[in-house]
Amino acid sequence: MSLTAKDKGPSVEPVPAGVHVAVCYGVVDLGTQFNPKFNKHARKVLVLWELPQCRADFERDGQKQNLPRAISQRYTLSLSEKANLRRDLESWRGRKFTAQELSGFDLQAVLGAPCQLQIVHEAGKEGRSFAAIAALMALPKGTARPKPENPLLFFTFEGVQGHPALPPHMPDWIKELIAQSREWTGQPAPASSTKPSTPTSATDGDDLPF
């Protein structure tokens, strides 16, 4: 029996701080996750963006390719008045939600939609800094709309029984998050739990600014 320490290798430089043009390429339902800090469960969703003007070399399909850097944000699946998801979506859209939209907004509508992200650097563990999204804004009028270079990634537990199939190109770190959810493990919800305040059932998307 042994206890082995290893060098984790060089750390990846965080995405540069500043305002970046971005495009959404992923919306992933993480299911109901436990937050030990607040000792409660909540339904979570992960939104992923790529930054077409901030690039690096990556290995894909056995070949080195120059691709956009990416960043993600985890939200509670809610459009309540104080919810971060509602705040960022309204800033992204450039207008408030209508009462009808608040009754059920389909998050799949943001896939492929461009925006601006204000990114800052914050201190993390072991003294390393990491990139965080400080603000999300609509793309200025007249700015060219970038198209995603990564395959679009969408996953949801809604309307599916048992274990739904995970997209084959989903990164392992996201699969590991999903595997911790109550929906994936089959844990029953406590009697006091409530459903997310905002369903993601589709609404009429003809006037969506995405």
98 closest CA partner among 114, 75, 79: 79
pLDDT digits (tens, 9 = 90+) for 84-111: 999 999 999 999 999 999 999 999 999 9
**Cα–Cα dist 139/6, whole Å:** 44
Name which of 15-24, 46-55, 72-81, 199-208 the model is least confident about: 199-208
Has residue 16 been placed in a domain?
no
pLDDT digits (tens, 9 = 90+) for 60-81: 778 898 999 999 999 999 999 9
Q: What is the mean pLDDT of residues 181-198?
A: 64
Q: What pLDDT shows up at residue 11?
A: 60
Asked if residues 42 and 36 have their Cβ atoms less than 8 Å apart, the reply is no
User: 97: Cβ–Cβ under 8 A, 6 or more apart, which residues?
Assistant: 79, 86, 89, 90, 105
Has residue 190 been placed in a domain?
no
Has residue 204 been placed in a domain?
no
Q: What is the mean pLDDT of residues 140-159?
A: 93
Has residue 37 been placed in a domain?
yes
Has residue 128 been placed in a domain?
no
Neighbours of 9 (CB within 10 A): 6
Residue with more model confidence, 194 or 183: 183
Has residue 81 been placed in a domain?
yes
Question: How many domains, in total, are found in the chain?
Answer: 1
Judged against a pLDDT cut of 70, whether residue 202 lies above it is answered with no
**Cα–Cα dist 149/18, whole Å:** 22
Has residue 44 been placed in a domain?
yes
- From the centroid of its chain, how far is CA 200? 15
Quote the pTM value: 0.83
Domain, as residue range, for 163: 23-114+142-185
Has residue 105 been placed in a domain?
yes
